[in-house]
Amino acid sequence: MKIIQVKCPNCGQAIYQKTKDEMFLCQNCGTIHYRDDKGPHRVPFEVAPPNPNSGGQRFYMPFWRLRCDFHIRSRDVQGGLLHKLATTLRGGDNGGNLYIFVPAAELDTTTFRRLAVALTTSPPQYPVRQDFGGIERVPTAIGQDEAIEMADFVAVTLEAEKPGTLQYLDYELKVLEAKLIYLPMVSTPSGPWLAI
Ligand SMILES: [Zn+2]
């Protein structure tokens, strides 16, 4: 296993971490940052507490929650799932605000799709925390920029859940804000499931 050491950009503490996780958590000040060729960037994040009644091995999985502005260009998609979600959030006629969840861990396509659709159609409610309570984190494999590029893919996936509407999909999606959300999960024979 390869370990690298970086310095926390917020408090200066040394952080030792496995190289496969793009997100560096400082044990001293609790901030998370990632690094690219422009240097360190602090990442806003939230942690959801696990359901105390959930059995099995718990772990935290990272998701990018993208607050999106969403507009429909074509009236033909009014029956689509995206339109329904966006109008629920802001009540507009042709669009509105929408949270799109992009799984940030390395996942197979089926699990990625299942989690993205489940969370985007039904965003979890939880008391926000900033600490992990000693529960292990799954490494983040998808960075913020990559997640923003995937927002459209998730939108199209959502729309494809309702057959027959995809060919009429004509919309505009703009990501306004990205936040890293750590959700508690448990391992099951059919893959990871939410443990909120
Ligand atoms: Zn720090």
> How crowded is the C-beta side of 1, counted as CA atoms within 13 Å?
6
Distance 47 CA to ligand 1 centre (A): 17
Q: In 10 A of CB 20, how many CB atoms?
A: 11
Residues 76 and 172 in one domain: yes
Q: Do both 38 and 8 map to the same domain?
A: yes
Q: How far is the CA of 30 from the centre of ligand 1 (A)?
A: 6
- CB atoms near residue 183 (< 10 Å): 24
Same domain, 33 and 53: no
- The pTM score is 0.88
Q: Each residue of 175-195: pLDDT tens digit?
A: 999 999 999 999 988 889 999
Question: Ligand 1 centre from 155 Cα, in Å?
Answer: 36
What local confidence, expressed as pLDDT, does residue 126 receive?
A: 94
Same domain flag for 122 and 86: yes
Residue 38 Cα to ligand 1 middle (Å): 19
Beta strands 58-72 and 95-103 are: antiparallel
Confidence of residue 74 (pLDDT cuts 50, 70, 90): low
71 and 13 co-located in one domain: no
pLDDT of residue 153: 87
Note whether 34 and 71 are same-domain residues.
no
Domain count within the chain: 2
Closest residue by Cα to residue 183 from 143, 151, 137: 137
Distance 12 CA to ligand 1 centre (A): 6
Query: 29: CA distance to ligand 1 center in Å?
Result: 4
Residues 13 and 70 reside in one and the same domain = no
CA–centroid distance, 60 to ligand 1, in Å, is 20
* Mean per-residue pLDDT, 33-44: 94
Give 12's pLDDT tier (boundaries 50, 70, 90): very high
Q: How many helices, marked H, and strands, marked E, lie in the chain?
A: 3, 10
Q: What is the pLDDT of residues 116-139, one digit of tens each?
A: 999 998 999 999 999 999 999 999
Q: What integer pLDDT is reported at residue 55 of this predicted model?
A: 80
Residue with the larger pLDDT of the pair 74 and 43? 43
Q: How far is CA 86 from CA 62, 70, 94, 108, 174, in A?
A: 24, 7, 8, 28, 13
Owning domain of residue 30: 1-43
Query: For 123, how many CA atoms within 13 A lie in the half-sphere containing its CB?
Result: 16
Element (H, E) at 82: helix 81-90
**How remote is the CA of residue 9 from the centroid of ligand 1, in Å?**
7
CA of 81 to the centre of ligand 1 (A): 42
Distance 27 CA to ligand 1 centre (A): 7
Q: pLDDT: is 90 or 21 the higher one? A: 21
Q: Stretch 63-88: mean pLDDT, rounded?
A: 72
Centroid of ligand 1 to alpha carbon of 173 (angstroms): 35
Q: What is the pLDDT of residue 8?
A: 97
Q: Rounded to the nearest whole angstrom, what is the distance from the C-alpha of residue 123 to the centroid of ligand 1? A: 30
Q: 94 C-alpha vs ligand 1 centroid, how far in Å?
A: 44
| Position 91 confidence tier, pLDDT thresholds 50, 70, 90 | very low
pLDDT value of position 41: 95
Residues 73 and 113 placed together within one structural domain of the fold: yes
Cα(7) to centroid(ligand 1), Å: 8
Asked if pLDDT for residue 113 goes beyond 60, the answer is: yes
Residues 64, 34 share a domain: no
Whether residue 24 is predicted with pLDDT greater than 90 in this model: the reply is yes
Position 25 pLDDT exceeds 90: yes
Q: Are residues 24 and 102 in the same domain?
A: no
CA atoms within 13 A on the CB side of 178: 20
